[in-house]
Amino acid sequence: MALNPWLLIVIWGVILIVLTGPMLTLPMFWSRRKPDQFRDMPFESGQVPQGEARKRLVMQYYPYLLMFVVFDVVAMFLFAWGISFTSIPASDSFPVLVFLILLGAPLGYALKMALRRENW
């Protein structure tokens, strides 16, 4: 029977959840659950942890996230073009090359900043 592939993926997902779920839920039943102050302290190689654990955020790579968002979209558009590359006339690929060249500007700027500064 030729099932819809997405339906098969859903069935596969259900099989996965059903068969891997007990791996984590069952051990919760037979592990000790009384909270203990010393056992549950966050691990800091034996020292007492000080300060809020979630305070310091590494913000120096934030521009890379911005670039990732934009190039994520760009990559998906390029996939749409790449599928039909051999079946469209060459003049149709020209807008895509212009697309890439136009996006080379911020890429070049970002990489220039990345190579110049120490921590970007």
Partner 1 sequence: MDLSVPPDITFVVLTTITLLAAILALQAKELIYGAISLGISFIGIAGFFVSLDAPYLGMLQIAVYVGAVVVLILFTIMLVRREEADKEEAGEGGEGAAGLWIAGLLAVSIAGVAALAGPNLPISPPATNLPISQLGPVLTGTYPVPLIILALLLSGALLGALVLAKIDR
Partner 2 sequence: MNLPTTPAELLPFIIAVVTSHTFITLVIFPGFIHLTVVVMFLTWYERKLLARIQLRIGPLYAGGPGGILQPIADGVKLIFKEVMIPYKADKPLFLGIPLALVFLGALPFAVIPFGQHWVIANLDVGLVFIFAVTSLFPSMILIFAWASNSKYPFLGGLRSLFQQVAYEIPMWISALSVVMLAGSLNLVQIVTAQQRIWFIVPAFLSFIVFFIATMAELERLPFDLPEAEPELVAGWYTESSGAVFMVIFLALYMKLYLMSSLITVLFLGGWWGPAFLPQPVWFILKALVVATFMIIPRGVYPRLRVDLLIKVGWTRLLIIALANVFITVALLSTGVLSAWGL
What residue ranges bind partner 1 (CB under 8 A)?
Answer: 6, 52, 54, 57, 62-63, 65-70, 72-74, 76-77, 80-85, 87-88, 92-96, 98-99, 102-103, 105-106, 109-110, 113
- Interface of this chain with partner 2, residues 56 to 75, rule: CB under 8 A: 56-58, 60-61, 64-65, 67-68, 71-72, 75
Task: Find the Cα–Cα–Cα–Cα dihedral 44, 120, 69, 98, rounded to 10°.
Answer: -160
> How many other CB atoms are there within 10 angstroms of residue 38's CB atom?
6
Which residue, 41 or 98, is less far from partner 1 as judged by CB?
A: 98
Which residue, 21 or 26, is less far from partner 1 as judged by CB?
A: 21
Among 92, 94, 100, 106, binds partner 2 (CB under 8 A): 100
77 interacts with, out of partner 1, partner 2, none, CB within 5 to 8 A per kind: partner 1
Query: HSE-up of 114 (CA within 13 Å, CB side)?
Result: 11
Interatomic CA distance for residues 49 and 52, integer angstroms: 9
Q: Nearest Cα to 60, choosing from 117, 105, 109? A: 117
Place of tokens 């060249």: 101
- Residue 94 touching partner 2 (CB under 8 A): no
